[in-house]
Amino acid sequence: MKSSPILRRLMILIQTMTLAALLGACSSTMQQVGMAPAPAPETPMVAETVGTGQLVIGVLSFAEPVNRSGGAADATALAAKLAAQSITKHPVSVVIRPQSDGVARDAEAFQAANVRLTIGGSDPRAIAGLAKAMAPRKVPTIALASLSDTGSLLYGAGLAPREEAAALVGEAKRLGYAKVGIVFGSDPDSASFGTAVADIAAAQGIAVIRIDVLNPETFQAGLAAALAAGKVDALVFAIDPQRAAGLIAGSAPAAMAGIAIVGNAGWTLAEPLPAAVRSSWYPSLPRAGITAFATRFRAAYNATPTLASAVIYDLVVMAAVLDQVAGAEAFSAGTLQSDLGFTGFTGPFTFGALGLVQSRSYEIVAGR
């Protein structure tokens, strides 16, 4: 979408602003509010409001009990809280509610708080219902799913598994891999990513062996079956690095000899990796930004974040930036769908004409 001259000037201001201009040092901010680094809480997520700014943002957090970084189950809520506490130049208030079946209750709470933007949610049906409830008040919703409906002011900022998978398969093809085993977990995120890798690899002429991980025994059986069918060039792990390291450590060295270890984008957040998988490579969102976010998150909570939590953090910061430079037009379609966009720790956010974040850039990195 083309932007007007006035909007273009505003968006140039957005581009020239850095995260540091909006955020205070995380460690000093935590000390000011009396929060020393501590293990992430294991209690169920609860509704809460964080921050004292005039801009009010609603966040629909969701649990990730199993994820590809091995991160905290409540990382999306923690990231929203961290963003609100870290933004010092243009303070915000964040109303955090755990995703549930109570769309009407969520909408009522957000409306009562006079939020100007809602962020989050991973369930397509729930987030679509929330967007329709908020749209009459001209409050946009940015979902962490690949869906959009600009008619109800619904935008999609979810990570697309096929984009990450395409980067991985492209590197596998460059390295000359002829056959790979894909290690699947039982969670939907692992299944989506693993399936995308399998589909793209097959289309590129790379043979694929599926290995489901229900327990170490099923991994060993799947690996043995894959090796029995011929040489395996690599194992692609669609699971977190801690579980991957445990599976590899439990395997006979002869079984793993000559097999490359390939991770996924969640592994960048878990660096430094366990020794058993440190020789790996994997696709990553911009490593410098992801590492900076993970460092900030770990300093606050002594826990590993997740990919979804990194996006939540960026979206809260983006909202503060847009409000600072665009005021009343901060969350209009013209601003959100401008062709200039905003760049956060996870990379650029540019919502196209369909309301979806346009393709993200993945780089191939070596484990560390």
152-187: per-residue pLDDT in tens?
Answer: 999 999 999 999 999 999 999 999 999 999 999 989
CA-CA-CA-CA torsion for 168, 170, 174, 180, nearest 10 degrees? 50
Residue 23: what pLDDT? 56
pLDDT at 341: 73
Q: Which two tokens stand for residue 292?
A: 């900076």
Q: Which residues pair with 234 in a beta bridge?
A: 180, 260
For range 313-317, the mean pLDDT:
97
Cα separation, 62 vs 77, whole angstroms: 7
pLDDT at 266 over 50: yes
Mean pLDDT value across the chain = 87
Task: Give me the mean pLDDT over the 101-123 stretch.
Answer: 91
Region 132-155 average pLDDT: 94
Go through the domains of the chain in sequence order and give each one's CATH number: 5-159+288-361 (3.40.50.2300), 161-264 (3.40.50.2300)
**Which of 39-48, 52-61, 208-217 has the largest mean confidence?**
52-61
Pairing of strands 141-143, 260-262: unpaired
